[in-house]
Amino acid sequence: MKGALFDLDGVLTDTARYHFTAWKALIQKHFQLELPASLEAQTKGVSRQDSLRAILTYLNLDVSTSEFAELAAEKNELYKESLATLSSQDILPGIANLLADLKAHQVKIALASASQNGPFILAKLQLTAYFDAIVDPTKVAHGKPAPDIYLAAASALDLAPSECVGFEDAVAGITAINSAQAVSIGIGSANELTQADKLFASTQDLDYNLIEQVWQAKHLAKN
């Protein structure tokens, strides 16, 4: 195992709730409509543009290309404002230890998040120094569940995807990791993340040695 590819929301820190709160405020302001909690799953782990498309489709709303861009930009500003108090105290349990263990074993680390705010959030969390590469999601052709961002993350580390493990808390992300042919580490519900190579109930349970064993087992099985 030479590379570790991380999603951000729900893996390094819990910013997912801020995303949906921003979407709800945006839709209420412009359309005087409420978003049901059930819609949050469709906006989890995907790009801002794909989230907005899902929301507009659900509400049966049509907007022009320029209005779409303005709504997406305004949502991002609402989201960033809500992150003003984000700090290292908001790193999810177990993540700092895992990143330190990965570094101690000379495993390269990349961020493979659909969020365009990745560098900003890593800086707020004081985690930037751990990361050898941060993929710009605007530079990949297709968002999750397509494998593009994980392929780009492995490439940025000068590694093959098969030399890497990926960490995700969303179905779209696990699908993307598997399609990239990296080893998928799921964090969350066993009912949702059934396709993960290894599932941990929470970030606090993540263990470097166990993750290495999972990678070794899958690598040997392929060969």
Catalytic residues: 7, 9
Q: How far is CA 188 from the centre of its chain?
A: 13
Contact 111, 135 (CB under 8 A): yes
Q: Are strands 108-111 and 133-134 parallel, antiparallel or unpaired?
A: parallel
- Cα(73)–Cα(63) distance, integer angstroms: 14
∠ at Cα 26 (22, 31), nearest 5°? 150
- DSSP letter at 4 equals E
* Spatial contact of 43 and 20, defined as CB atoms under 8 Å apart: yes
**Cβ neighbours for 74, distance < 8 A, ≥ 6 positions apart:** 26
HSE-CB of 68 using CA atoms within 13 angstroms: 15
Q: Exposed (0-12), middle (13-18) or buried (19+): which is 209, by Cβ within 10 Å?
A: exposed
The structure tokens listed for 178 are: 């598997």
Paired tokens of 98:
């895992």
